[in-house]
Chains A and B, each alone.
Chain A
Amino acid sequence: LAKTTQPISMDSYEGQEVNITCSHNNIATNDYITWYQQFPSQGPRFIIQGYKTKVTNEVASLFIPADRKSSTLSLPRVSLSDTAVYYCLSPVAGNQFYFGTGTSLTVIP
């Protein structure tokens, strides 16, 4: 089972860039790296996914080094509404995923 490790919590001021790093040492060759966001009492929501190098969408960027043993989610200029739990996911098999405890991000005014 390819488990993930990420910081339990992070604080950031509004307007700053936030980088959350996830370790996934046992990721399989064909597995994608996926990040989800979850607000209290809501289901997780897909943010971004990548296989290698860098991926960017309208919400975030994802940096994956060549060895793929880690990944970094980058949130540019965070706002209060970005306060949430962020999960780095590791596939168990196909589209069955292991969620760790996630990183609780608090954005401070």
Chain B
Amino acid sequence: ETGVTQSPTHLIKTRGQQVTLRCSSQSGHNTVSWYQQALGQGPQFIFQYYREEENGRGNFPPRFSGLQFPNYSSELNVNALELDDSALYLCASSISGTVTGELFFGEGSRLTVL
């Protein structure tokens, strides 16, 4: 069984640039969630995708956007990067419709904005 994989693991950008982060879901999982984790904080929910559509969104501006593909993999795009966007971005896959909704996380992509 393949777990959740994210790429790249680390990247550095400058203010105003755009970034795309990628996530491959665990086999059999149809839902992908993205979280932002700043240093010393808990993960903050960005949004969730199910059947290639956004299925819920946290308190993040529109410059945070995403995609889910037919194979359930996903992308997180962030435009007009700001210094405060520096964080660990976590992808989690799950199976929609289950009572418990357990999340399986990847190792994250560490983004540094200079």
Our pick among B4, B35, B41, B104 for the contact of A46 (Cβ within 8 Å) is B104
Cα of A6 to Cα of B56 in the assembled complex, Å:
26
Interface size class of B (residues with CB under 8 A): 20 to 34
Which residues of chain A are near B98, meaning CB under 8 Å?
95
Report the number of A-B residue pairs with Cβ-Cβ less than 8 Å.
Answer: 65
Which residues of chain A are near B106, meaning CB under 8 Å?
43
Contact present for A95 and B108 (CB under 8 Å)? no
Contact present for A42 and B107 (CB under 8 Å)? yes
Which residues of chain A are near B100, meaning CB under 8 Å?
32, 34, 49
Number of interface residues of A (CB under 8 A): 24
The reply on B44 being an interface residue by CB < 8 A is: yes
Contact present for B41 and A101 (CB under 8 Å)? yes
